[in-house]
Structure 1
Amino acid sequence: MARPKPVTFEKTKIVAENRRARYDYSIETVFEAGIALTGTEVKSLRTGQGSIVESYAEAKDGAIWLVNSNIPEFSHGNRYNHEAKRPRKLLLHAREINKMHGAVNRDGMTLIPLMIYFNSTGRAKVELALAKGKKAHDKRDSIKERDWKREQGRLMRDRG
């Protein structure tokens, strides 16, 4: 039987990406979640501003919250501007929230945002991953594997 393909989400414009997450964590499952944003936050994201490098998600009060993500204030937002580092609610189905909550409490996993992007309908989405932290020796192994894959590609390209 063929292995099922992993779910890929339709991303049209990637705003912020956490590239370090794949190095520091081994990713188990990936979810797509909406974000509850105010108007000026959306405008700020559309201009390409925003960072999720130091952010994480936590399960609290039956909801998932994106903590420590930075969406800077909109330049023309005047008094209706938003707070840059406020916790933002993630929009998920109840079954997904329960699954994440159980994994975090039971298995000691972490919820890491991988990227913020706009989908094909223009909605802001977060790619959220359930992950386990890597130890130093795991990181060295992944570096060796990545270098070997690169070398393999060079050898195959040179030899034809």
Structure 2
Amino acid sequence: MSYAQILRSSRQPGGYEAQFAGLMPPEEEQQPTRITSSRLKENPDLATRTKDEKAVQQSSRSTQQNQDLNKRIKKIERFINGITQDGFADVLTENATLLSETTALKDKIEELEETLENMQARVDELCKERQVSTIQNNPARKKRAMPQ
């Protein structure tokens, strides 16, 4: 997969960005608070039964949450494996190589620009020594030499 394809896939539905968003946990639904009725307060058996039911519900919720977490972990692992199989790591390595090559070329360009400036200064110096006028030094001659 080329770098351009990876960039496009990250912005398309079903691309890396969408896949990663699917790995995030869903918004937690807020549980409505229950107000204990006066009937439960008067009857301790109902209150005990309600507490037991709540404990069972809480236990089943925590089991469900653990299962959801395990599913998310598996999704994340598949996502990471998919990235490495698609050559994303290769693209990152290639980008690092291109960056270092670009930096080296930039340094070479700066070096060549300095050399050019030194050579132009040397030409100007030689022209002054020999009392020769150059097109570069005289704007009027430069215009005549390079008609538009």
Flag whether TM exceeds 0.5 (same fold).
no
Which has a greater percent of helix? 2
TM-score by length of 1: 0.22
Query: Relative CO higher for 1 or 2, CA cutoff 8 Å, sep ≥ 6?
Result: 1
Higher strand residue share: 1
TM-score (norm: length of structure 2): 0.23
Q: Mark the structure with the bigger radius of gyration.
A: 2
